[in-house]
Amino acid sequence: MKTKVIKISTLALLIMFSIITNAQQGLNLSINVSPQNSWLINADDYDNSDFEYKALILPAFGLGTGYNFTDNLGIGLELNYSLQGQRNEYLGIETTTRLDYLKIPIFFHYNTSSQNKLMFTANVGPQFGILTNAKLLDNDGEELIDDLSEVYMDLTFGAAASFGIEYKLTEKINFFSLIKYDIDFTNSEDEDYTLYQDSRATTLNSTLGLQLGLKFHF
């Protein structure tokens, strides 16, 4: 798992560096934080009357880079460290599955005229998730199982989308506030795990949150 993390992280950094070094106009760098709710969506769990999803609010933090080809259109890439997973109650017992990921969305970007003080903005594109931590906690946050990495996939693939507003603080600095949603297309659970049930439905990571940040234009 560590080897995959290093390889994909290195590739993402190289792409980010390439965008930065080849851009002449329209380059931007950003920092962000996202309070978010997360789920492990599984149809079997959802249909089980003894199973109940609970809210799990945790943060994500990230850095990004982008390049606008025109005043309205561009591309971008982020490196986000996301604390997520699922909190649920089963047969009256509440537990939290903590899954932390390094998430790498690569997106197409749109914004309305940058001549305005306030503009609409949106991003959409594919996303890779690299598992960095997996454990099971009880209702008090104490560890029941300190390593669940064998149960979950090291790498997932999905998509991310966000939309909201950007506000021009200065000529070079924008504040942005976006509603952000992502979901995986691939199973987050490892089907090769010894105790995995072949009949079990696919489990998909998903988060919904508010992404707040600053964007610096060059």
Mean pLDDT value of segment 8-20: 56
- In one-letter notation, the amino acid at residue 38 is S
Q: 3: helix, coil or strand?
A: helix
The residue to which tokens 């537990």 are assigned: 95
Q: What angle do CA 192, 197, 200 make, to 5 degrees?
A: 110
Q: In this structure, what CATH number is given to the domain that contains residue 46?
A: 2.40.160.20
**Which residue has tokens 């850095």?**
63
Total count of domains within the chain: 1
Rounded to an integer, what distance in angstroms lies between the CA atom of residue 182 and that of residue 49? 26
Structural domain for 51, as ranges: 2-217
Q: What is the mean pLDDT of the chain?
A: 90
Q: What is the pLDDT of residues 124-161, one digit of tens each?
A: 999 999 999 999 999 888 999 999 999 999 999 999 99
Q: What is the DSSP string of 111-163?
A: ES-TTSSEEEEEEEEEEEEEEEEEEEE-TTS-EEES--TTTB-SEEEEEEEEE
> Going by DSSP bridges, is the β-strand pair 73-90/93-111 parallel, antiparallel, or unpaired?
antiparallel
Confidence of residue 12 (pLDDT cuts 50, 70, 90): low
**Rounded Cα–Cα distance for residues 211 and 123 (Å):** 12
Owner of token pair 């980010």? 16
Contact 164, 176 (CB under 8 A): yes
User: Do residues 131 and 137 make contact, with C-beta atoms less than 8 angstroms apart?
Assistant: no
Residue 25 main-chain phi, psi, to 5 deg: -135, 150
pLDDT of residue 24: 41
Angle, vertex CA 28, rays to CA 105 and CA 131, nearest 5: 25
